[in-house]
Structure formats: structure tokens, C-alpha cells
Amino acid sequence: MLLIGSHVSFTSKEQLVGSVKEAISYGANSFMFYTGAPQNTKRCKIDYDLTVEARNILYENNIELKNIIVHAPYIINLANNEKKESYLFAINFLKEEIKRVGMLGIEKLVLHPGSYVNLDLDTGIDNVINALNEVITPNQNVKICIETMAGKGSEICFDIKHIKRIINGVKHSEKLGVCLDTCHLNDAGYDMSKFDEFLDEFDKLIGIDKIKCVHVNDSKNSIGSHKDRHENIGYGTIGFDALINVIYNKRLCDVPKILETPYVSFNDKQRVLPPYKFEIDMIKNKKFNKDLYEDIRKYYERLK
């Protein structure tokens, strides 16, 4: 079965209930959210009653907890330890985040491995390994899924060999998984039109069973650009057919596919609307919608 969803919001007031409802409004059977703002580490307490309510809604809509993903905030950087307090803060934040994710009953936490900044690549990788060895406990239910990165600035893990090294260095590596991001892979230099070749290479090095999530995004930039700017499905340099082949790849049929494509703006950015309902439709129909932006605008116009 196709497991498809998108990034959705998570507010302190509605928590998982709000996230599930948003996902359902897009026709999704999977989704991903940040437990607070992605760019900061302010987090609310997980509310037990809201979590129970959300689980009922999930159950009624045949959405399985194992297909829901949490994304860790992208400001936590485990690759750099120049400022000891920040490095320790990141480690402690991640420990707390794993607890929150566990309280929600969710099993997958996606993590950007970080940037080495003024250090070097090897030190950056070692810092991530040391941090994860500090963070991971053998009895946690949550898997940390390291995301493939575009290699913007000093980001690590733009090469799957870096991820392999992290997995090799972490003691409880059974608690690690990998999240593929098609935009990042493209920008890192992997050709998404030859996805099966990529999967063969990944399988040989790491093992396909480690892939726990796929971020499906088109890219605004050319292959190998190291930029990381996401584009709507079929409107970028990867293209609709290549992305459909990723989404429907038989070797990844049990892995949730999550859209992180940009919101669409209208009237000089006065209105910004989510594209996900329409992108999910395109994906389900396997047919490119050249009127995507117009359809989004009309739909939300009618809802007003």
C-alpha cells in the first residue's frame, strides 16, 4: 500500500489531534511534524488526553503510529563541539525529544546530522557518533533516522559513506535508521532518475532495511549543486516521473513517503497555501497536474 503524507503542524493547544486532522484533510495516511517550531527548541509538555484522543482518530482512519514521523529541530547540531555548552545542550535536547516522541507512541525521529562549521569533516562525523552514543539508550523504542543531506556549507552526510561511518561508530546502532531526502540526494550529486542503482549502492553499503522514511521533494537546483532548496513535485529539476519511480519503488513499499515541498504563495505573498492535498492527488493518480498552483488557489478560495 502507498504510504504518503506531508509535513503538518503541531501546536501546543491541539498537539497530535491537530496534526492528524490536518493530515487527513490532505488525504494522507502518514505524516511528519516538529513537536514545536523547527528553528527553536521551545517545547510544550505532551498532553496525555490529547494523545489518547489522537490515537482514536488515527485508528478510525486506519493510520498507523509506525507511519508517523517526528522531525528534530534543525538548529540542534551534533557535528560541532566548539562551544561545549551548545554541544551538551543539543545532546540533552535530543534525549528529551526522544522521551516526548516515545510518549506520543511514535517510533521514528528524523535528525539532520549537522555541520562541522570551523572543524573538519572527520571531526564532525566523530562528534555525531559521540553524541549519539551519549543519547541512545538500549531500551528506547524510538529510532533516530539520520537524514541524507545536500552538503550545503559544512553539512555532513551528503555522502552515504558518512552515514555508514556513523552507524559503524554507534554502539546501539539497531536504534539508528536512515531518512532519504530526494532533494538533498539530488543536490548532493546522486541521480534520482537512476534510483534503483542508488538503492543497490545503498543496500551494499548500509542495507535497505535501514531506510525508515523518504522525504519526497523536487529540487530548485541542478544535480550536485549542494543548495537544498525544495520545489513542488514535478516542478523542479528531478521531475515528476523520477519522483513517481521513487515513491512506487517496490523495495520501499513499507516506508512512509513525506512531502516537504514549499507552500505556494499568491497575491504577492499575502496568502501562502499548502500544496499537499493536490500533490498527494497527483501522486495517487500518477499523473502530473500542470495546473497545480491554479487548483490550489481555487480550492482555498472556495473554502473561505
- Cβ neighbour number for residue 133 with a 10 Å cutoff: 14
- Amino acid identity for residue 88 in this structure: L
The contact pattern for Zn ion, residues 188-227, with x = CB under 5 A and - = no contact, is ----------------------------------------
DSSP output for 27-67: T-SEEEE-SS-TTS---PPPPHHHHHHHHHHHHHTT--GGG
Q: Which of 147, 187, 228, 279 binds Zn ion (CB under 5 A)?
A: 228
> Rule CB under 5 A: which of 90-119 touch Fe ion?
none
Residue 228 lies near Fe ion (rule: CB under 5 A):
no
- Closest separation between CB of residue 230 and Fe ion, Å? 8
| Nearest residue to 70 via CA among 30, 41, 106 | 106
Residue 181 lies near Fe ion (rule: CB under 5 A):
yes
- Closest separation between CB of residue 207 and Zn ion, Å? 24
215 binds, among Fe ion, Zn ion, none (CB under 5 to 8 A by kind): Fe ion
Residue 212 lies near Fe ion (rule: CB under 5 A):
no
> Rule CB under 5 A: which of 34-93 touch Fe ion?
none
- Closest separation between CB of residue 147 and Zn ion, Å? 8
How many residues bind to Fe ion according to rule CB under 5 A? Answer: 3
DSSP output for 201-263: HHHHHT-GGGEEEEEE-EESS-TT-----EE-TTSSSS-HHHHHHHHT-GGGTTS-EEE-PPP
Query: Which H or E run contains 283?
Result: helix 276-285
Closer to Fe ion by CB, 181 or 279: give it: 181
Q: Which residues bind Zn ion (CB under 5 A)?
A: 228
